[in-house]
Structure 1
Amino acid sequence: MDFEHVRATDPAVADALLAERDRQRDSLAMIASENHVSRAVLEAQGSALTNKYAEGYPGERYYAGCEHADEVENLAIDRAKELWGAEHVNVQPHSGTQANMGVYLAMLDPGDRILSLDLTHGGHLSHGHPANFTGKTYEVEQYEVDPETGYIDYDALHEHAEAFDPDIVVSGYSAYPREVDFERVQEAAEAADAYHLADIAHITGLVAAGVHPSPVGVADFVTGSTHKTIRAGRGGIIMTTEEHADAVDSAVFPGAQGGPLMHNVAGKAVGFEEALQPEFGEYAQQVVDNAKALAGRFQEHGFEVVSGGTDTHLVLVDLRESHPETTGGEAEEALEEVGIVLNKNTVPGETRSPFNPSGIRVGTPALTTRGFDEEACEQVADVIYRVVDAHDDESVKAEASDEVDALCEEYPLYE
């Protein structure tokens, strides 16, 4: 990846691309929604398919010359069906948010009701935040996790659904570290005669590998991202039954999007093929094992881990008890200085601004892709603790930076 052709045309962009490659190589990506794709996926996404308009669907395009685009999209669809056991799959959404948009447009009218998890409790913007199109278009109420346990209270959710009478109940979250009981959410949706949308954007790969229960066959609609735990390049996906297939496809195109990004669809196809191999299951299990190791080590250091641990790829740390004067933003900035890239995050019962909240969210997908095991993740947890504990101490940060450099050399990326 030396970008020789880019450099010949645009040295400034080539410099930025090389610098980004080096930044990823020389730092530890621990943002829970980020991962590193293979060189094969990178090549597919940088292919000549970026030149091709392919509005419509395989066999029903609005442009000529789509025979190879059809082949690639059909491969992506067939592999997705095999991975998740879905009846119908749409691989065209540009992101997980646009996958959610496709479902809303297919099944809701403006002013219809959505019941979803509050953003500060682990939900997502596209589930109904007032700054998002969902909050502007639909009537939204939100449920919360139990403030004492950090777990979803499914009985309370059931009662809320009966009282609010939503048209869609949303499960699946962006900062909830525990296993989701999709069956219980489905019961709540059925009690309100509502659809159930399971957004598995963060756990798509974990579900595919069988290390997290699947909502496919339980929820009416399953949406996800294809670049977090599945490593298939950036994009979104919708899975549903044949009953809703036409409505969903029409909502994606022409309802919400024009031409699909066929080079991204190619990346999805390649990434799905990789995920169908036996070693992907080992990877997904290691992602979870590594997150559990992180959570355990954090607790040994006195960090408050929301819900007391994790069942997934992420750990949510509430700093208010152990470091009441340190915000998530200060922790994020200090850690980035030493080469650990994670994100500040709201926590249940948040008392600060979401722009500088009380917690940090820490993920293991990208570290696991590099080959990290539990012991290595515990070492990273030690570094994170030391930096957060003394985030203004330059000597501590210098020592931490050296340790991160050594880990990056031991577990190389894109050699």
Structure 2
Amino acid sequence: MNIYKIFDMLLEQESNKYKTINLIPSENEATPLSRLPLMLDIYNRYFFNVKQKSNEWFFRGAQEVHEIETEVAIPLLQELGQAKYVNLRPLSGLNCSLIVLKALGGGIGANILAVSPEQGGHFATKNLGESIGLNVEFIHALDEHNIDFNCLESKLEKENIHLVYVDQSNCLFPIDIEKLVETVKRMSPKTIVHVDVSHWLGLIFGNVMKNPLALGADSFGGSTHKTFPGPQKAIFFTNNIEIEQKVKEVQSYMVSSHHFGAVASLAISLLEFRDCGGFDYAQRIVGNAKILASELHRLGYDVKGKEHGYTVGHQVWMSTDMTGISSYEASERLYKVGIRVNVNNTLPGFQGKLALRLGVNEITRHGAQLEDMLELATIMDDAIRERVPVKLLQQRVGKIRTKYIDSYGFSMDDNELHNLCMQIFSTSIKEVKVTEKC
């Protein structure tokens, strides 16, 4: 494969996104404006001098633009995250998890509790903890949505638990964090409670879900590209200076360059969230998820959570098996018409069978309304049951996808902003001479 083939593929991918609805809950599309720093010189630079000391500019590559982190990204994270201390250096959700487990887990031989995969806990948490010598046990669950608080009390009373790590990556209804914290602090006051909010960050910033710190948790954090439509990165929040220092110390040797281009991208995403309707976006996610789930149930699919209102976040879980069409086959039929879904065999309540984990976060970021969710459910039904020709369904998918272009971001109709972007892009590729060949 040569360079031309690679760029042909990239062009096709970029063109096809306008014909595609992505319903994968762990993905989101950051705005074009916020992605611009990822192709600039800033992407290649290191920045360590957070306190901006005049005698500590050992890496000077980002010196001219360091305020993007110190005066934009960090203050906005403190504001939206309602936290005194923020660490934006983790590179990804799993990288942040490993840093937290190393910093707060208690060290080799210490006991921690995590959420079991049967209740939506992340598949990697146990292995990550054990890889650094922690003893990882799962919190006992009553069902796929509720933990057994009596069992939790007993475990906290009998064992020395250093950390309770709440990490629901598959989740329709989050664990009651306020009750969990109350139980932990009553039974074992020194036990730390950390909440991984990778899937919920945008909903917490948008005040749709309560901030874990306000509910008594010691810290929270997670990735920045799910319900929050930012770059692929992660952040950590706390109001406890000792916890902040422990995490900072571990992070300092687990992350070298924290990808300053992604920091600039995050800063722009945060500005857009605050100033361009992020709070409305967060509210709309939940409404869109509920209506999509309800309509898919009405159309005859096995959609989980009906008795509780289907979902309180962005995720919708469904199986097509009862129609005689396997969930994997359904995902292939949806793919053909331009709908991307997550096939999953670890969703609580499906007993290890393949099911579809859907997320409305990205299509909502694009501007989709409730009526679009009704049409989307009908398209999905027509595609799965093969009632309508693929080409016609592709047209209907494209109509929804391109219905709203400049949602929840700074508009490129702003002439000054548009001209600045064009100038930046032009400057970035200035040294490329198309007449030269390698």
TM-score (norm 1): 0.86
Residue 33 (structure 1) aligned to one of 26, 33, 46: 26
Which one-letter code corresponds to 1:100 in the other structure?
Answer: S
Q: How many residues align?
A: 392
Distance 1:70 1:161 in 2: 47
2:36 corresponds to: 43
User: Structure 2 matches for 1:390-401, cutoff 5 A?
Assistant: 390=385, 393=386, 397-401=390-394
Confirm or deny: 8 A CA contact 2:119 2:168 kept in the other structure.
no
Gaps in structure 1 of 5+ consecutive residues: 1-8
1:317 corresponds to: 318
Residue 81, structure 1, aligned to residue 78, structure 2 = yes
1:269–1:347 Cα change, 3 Å:
same
1:99 corresponds to: 96
Distance 1:280 1:41 in 2: 14
1:30–1:124 Cα change, 3 Å:
same
Distance 1:97 1:224 in 2: 8
Deviations 1:333-364 (CA, angstroms, capped at 9, x unpaired): 22111111010122224444xxxx42111111
1:214 corresponds to: 211
Distance 2:58 2:180 in 1: 39
Deviation for aligned residue 1:36: 1.6
1:154–1:274 Cα change, 3 Å:
farther
1:276–1:326 Cα change, 3 Å:
same
User: Structure 2 matches for 1:276-315, cutoff 5 A?
Assistant: 276-277=274-275, 279-308=277-306, 309-315=310-316
Deviation for aligned residue 1:78: 1.0
2:265 corresponds to: 267
Distance 1:333 1:135 in 2: 36
Residue 404 (structure 1) aligned to one of 390, 397, 400: 397
Residue 137 (structure 2) aligned to one of 128, 138, 141: 141
Confirm or deny: 8 A CA contact 1:291 1:315 kept in the other structure.
yes
Deviations 1:58-87 (CA, angstroms, capped at 9, x unpaired): 435642344235312212111100111111
**Aligned-residue identity in percent:** 24
1:4 corresponds to: none
2:244 corresponds to: 245
User: SS of the residue aligned with 2:277?
Assistant: helix
Residue 195, structure 1, aligned to residue 158, structure 2 = no
1:278–1:53 Cα change, 3 Å:
closer
Distance 2:180 2:22 in 1: 32
Which one-letter code corresponds to 1:70 in the other structure?
Answer: H
1:142–1:274 Cα change, 3 Å:
same
Q: Which moved more, 1:271-280 or 1:58-67?
A: 58-67
Confirm or deny: 8 A CA contact 1:315 1:361 kept in the other structure.
yes
Which one-letter code corresponds to 1:348 in the other structure?
Answer: P
Residue 153 (structure 1) aligned to one of 134, 141, 147: 147
TM-score (norm 2): 0.82
1:347 corresponds to: 347
Confirm or deny: 8 A CA contact 1:116 1:140 kept in the other structure.
yes
Distance 1:82 1:184 in 2: 25
Deviation for aligned residue 1:214: 0.9
Which one-letter code corresponds to 1:234 in the other structure?
Answer: Q
Which one-letter code corresponds to 2:368 in the other structure?
Answer: F
Distance 2:259 2:319 in 1: 39
1:351–1:312 Cα change, 3 Å:
closer
1:56–1:166 Cα change, 3 Å:
farther
Distance 1:330 1:156 in 2: 42
Distance 1:371 1:300 in 2: 24
2:417 corresponds to: none
Deviation for aligned residue 1:127: 2.5
Distance 1:124 1:156 in 2: 23
Confirm or deny: 8 A CA contact 1:167 1:195 kept in the other structure.
yes
Residue 167, structure 1, aligned to residue 165, structure 2 = no
Which one-letter code corresponds to 1:67 in the other structure?
Answer: Q
Confirm or deny: 8 A CA contact 1:154 1:184 kept in the other structure.
no
Distance 1:298 1:286 in 2: 18
Distance 1:351 1:179 in 2: 20
User: SS of the residue aligned with 1:228?
Assistant: coil
Which one-letter code corresponds to 2:251 in the other structure?
Answer: V
Deviation for aligned residue 1:412: 4.6
Residue 382, structure 1, aligned to residue 345, structure 2 = no
Distance 1:364 1:176 in 2: 14
Which one-letter code corresponds to 1:71 in the other structure?
Answer: E
Distance 1:58 1:329 in 2: 51
Confirm or deny: 8 A CA contact 2:320 2:330 kept in the other structure.
no
1:351–1:271 Cα change, 3 Å:
same
The higher radius of gyration belongs to 2
1:87–1:302 Cα change, 3 Å:
same
User: Structure 2 matches for 1:110-125, cutoff 5 A?
Assistant: 110-125=108-123
Which one-letter code corresponds to 1:23 in the other structure?
Answer: N
1:413–1:64 Cα change, 3 Å:
closer
Distance 2:60 2:368 in 1: 47
Residue 363, structure 1, aligned to residue 328, structure 2 = no
Deviation for aligned residue 1:318: 4.0
2:332 corresponds to: 333
1:326–1:116 Cα change, 3 Å:
farther
Confirm or deny: 8 A CA contact 2:90 2:258 kept in the other structure.
yes
